[in-house]
Structure 1
Amino acid sequence: MLKKIAAVIIAAITAASSAACTGEEKLSEKYPDTSVSQSAELKLSNPDADKNAQALYSYICETYKHGMISGQQESTWMGSEQYEFDYIYDKTGKYPAIRGLDYMNDDFDGVNRRAEEWFKKGGIVTICWHCGSDFSHSWDECMKTEIADWDKALTEGTAEYNELIAGMDKGAEALSKLRDKGIPVLWRPFHELDGGWFWWSKGGAENFKKLWKIMYDRYTNHWELDNLIWVFGYSGNGRDYDKWYPGDEYVDIAGADSYKDGANASLYKKVTAVVGNDMPIAFHECGRIPTPEQLKKGGADWVWFMTWHTSYITDNNDTDDLKAIYNDDYVITLDELPKIYQ
Structure 2
Amino acid sequence: MIKNTIRKCAAILILVSLVGCGQNKGVNNQSKAETTKEETVTKSQIETGENQDVENTQSTTDTSQNEEKSKTTAVKNAKTEKIYKYICSMQGKGIISGQQESTWMGSDQYEFDYIYNNTGKYPAIRGLDYMNDDFEGVNNRAMEWDKKGGIITICWHCGSDFSLGYNECLNTNISNWTDALTEGTAEYDKMIEGMDRAAKALVELKNAGVTVLWRPFHEFDGGWFWWGKGGSKNFVKMWKIMYDRYTNYWKLDNLIWVCGFSDKCYGDWYPGDDYVDVVGADSYTDGPNNDKYKNIVSIVGDRKPICFHECGKIPTVEQLKTTNTDWVWFMTWHTEYITDHNDKSDLKKIYNSDYVITLDELPKW
The equivalent of 1:333 in structure 2 is 358
8 A contact 2:6–2:13 mirrored in 1:
no
Matches within 5 A, 1:167-206: 167-206=194-233
Aligned match of 1:147? 174
Which one of the candidate residues 262, 265, 279 is aligned to 1:254? 279
The SS at the match of 1:229 is strand
Number of aligned residue pairs: give it. 326
Alignment of 1:86-101 (within 5 A): 86-101=113-128
Report deviation, 1:338: 1.5
Deviations 1:289-321 (A, max 9, x none): 000101112221111000000000000000000
Q: Residues of 2 paired with 1:309 and 1:67: CA distance? A: 23
Where do 5+ consecutive residues of structure 2 fail to align?
22-37, 43-53, 58-68
Counterpart check, 1:209 vs 2:236? yes
Selected match of 1:105 from 114, 117, 132: 132
**Kept after mapping to 1: 8 A contact 2:173/2:229:** yes
1:49 equivalent to 2:76? Answer yes
What is the Cα deviation at residue 11 of structure 1? Answer: 2.9
Give CA-to-partner distance per residue, 1:114-150, whole Å, 9 cap, x none: 0000000000000000000000001100100000000
CA contact (8 A) 1:13 1:55 kept: no
Q: Residue 8 of structure 1: CA displacement? A: 4.3
- Gaps spanning 5+ residues in structure 1: where? 28-38
Q: How do residues 306-321 of structure 1 correspond to structure 2 at under 5 angstroms?
A: 306-321=331-346
Distance 1:74 1:205, change over 3 A: same
Q: Which amino acid aligns with 2:3?
A: K
Contact kept, 8 Å, 1:44 with 1:252, in 2: the verdict is: no
CA contact (8 A) 2:18 2:72 kept: no
Distance 1:10 1:185 in 2: 20
- Are residue 24 (structure 1) and residue 39 (structure 2) matched? yes
Question: Superposition RMSD on alpha carbons, in Å?
Answer: 2.2
Give % identity.
Answer: 62
Once residues 182 and 296 of structure 2 are traced to their aligned partners in structure 1, the CA distance between those partners, rounded to angstroms, is 30
User: Could you say if the C-alpha distance between residues 108 and 44 of structure 1 is closer, same or farther in structure 2, counting changes exceeding 3 Å?
Assistant: farther
Q: Distance in 2 between matches of 1:100 and 1:297?
A: 28
**3-state DSSP of counterpart to 2:222:** coil
SS of equivalent to 1:194 = helix
Is the CA contact 2:74–2:247 (under 8 Å) kept in the aligned structure 1?
A: no
Say whether the 8 Å CA contact 1:21–1:62 is kept in structure 2: no
CA distance in 2 between counterparts of 1:10 and 1:179 reads: 24
Tell me the TM-score normalized by structure 1. 0.90
* Counterpart residue type for residue 285 of structure 2: K
